[in-house]
Chains A and B, each alone.
Chain A
Amino acid sequence: MTGKAKINIEHLDLYIGKQHILKDVSTQIPEKKITVILGPSGCGKTTLLKSLNRLTDLYSNVKVSGKIFIEGEDILHTNMDITEIRKRMGLLSQRPYPLPMNIFNNVAYGLRISGRTNKIVLRKRVQHYLELVNLWDEVKDRLHDPASSLSIGQQQRLCLARGLSVDPDIILADEPTSALDPISSEVVEKKFIDLKSQYTVVVVTHSLQQARRIADYAIFMYLGEIIEQGPASEFFSDPKEELTKSYLKGLFN
């Protein structure tokens, strides 16, 4: 691996009820790079992503063992407040889920709950993040419309702005373009590449083409296990495992 590891996962096992969802997962996610988690649906990649900010706490009957270090802090066994951990990671989900508020407040909400309530500052920050995702020009005249009135692609960019607003250093994205049209997808992908100079980006995807386009580091999962991982250049050109080879050839999905 090149560069510093931002996230360090050691022997992570996760059960939901009796189902073994993640099996002895160990990996290191490099800082300020795009890491792509690949694999057929149901392989546990989304669960792995959600473990990173402990959204798995929401599931009933869940049992987790192992360690997840983020900058040296084991978030599974920490005294830190869970909300503080989550704030360090922006989440982008499969479909955009705007909050039931207007466009402005969708971005301002995260800022407000972390204590920034000065009106002028809020307005500046909201504009900043909306500009960051190339949305400002499209919405600046209708900031007080409900967020649901935007197109799906706009909504997803709004959600990205919302995620960035709480100043995270990691972005978690769960198949962020699967519900989007090709043009919006491209915008989101480009944004990830821009963002990696400041952020550590983890993207779950089942689109091989997308993974090839954006990945710096790739992780391939199958049935809850990591089959192969490595820098994207090696991973895609010279896979070691048979399973990876046939997946990359598109033999199964």
Chain B
Amino acid sequence: MKLPRAWRQPLAITGGVIALAWFVIALSAPLLAPHDPLAQELPRLAPPGPGHWFGTDQLGRDILSRVMYGARLSIPLTLLLVAMSVLVGGLLGAISGYFGKWVDETIMRFADLVFAFPTVILAMVVAAALGASLANAVLAVLVVAWPAYARVTRGLVLGVRQREFVLSGRLLGFSAWRSLRVDVLPNVTGPILVLATLDIGTALLLLSGLSFLGLGAKPPSPEWGAMVASGVEVFDSWWVAAFPGLAILTVVLAFNFLGDTLRDALDPRTARAIKERAL
């Protein structure tokens, strides 16, 4: 089996390999991690070296093990968050675009209202109001993330709903739900999938940012943002913040590469350009 052309680009391969590596780490952290991520059994603030390749933190915990276990928290939560944003935003956007009139006005003005606030500030306010926990941080990010999907979906649905195949379906007596599901959604999923993939990085960053500010994961859970925050207190021991920071960086980078690739693959114009370049 041969990979489609867009997926054979170096960035696509890099992104895919990094993302795959993180999935493997997340799934098999208990097998791979050399130490219990919560065990305070090693020398404090030991620099990277044999026995603790990423060094240890203030409490003598192995940072490598914590970064590995952190993947089990950060990655699934980010994917869940993006999936929920797609679901909520996509559904509202589709309803808005399909039905138009006051439904459209109401949903879009509400989306505008959310857009009017700076994303991070609004997420902080929501997280602080709900109380510090990872679940609440996910909810907070969801609150700020859905309007982007609603707006994109609405635009796409608006473009599709007057097309002949949709109108003919309606004339055949399809219900609005069936029309949306059968005729409209398959024609708008591509761009939304691209947006969602590109958004994974942003969502992870926002989620880690909330934990960094103390509004997300509760100690002692090995969440990457919280680990970076604890590293700030030990300025000299760079490894405490650097490795969880690198973990965030690589995941964000990987999903951005994948998002770009997906876009190339799904956008006929860029797909053609890649094909020509390859020739």
Q: Are both chains from one complex?
A: no
Chain B residues packing against A (C-beta within 8 Å): none
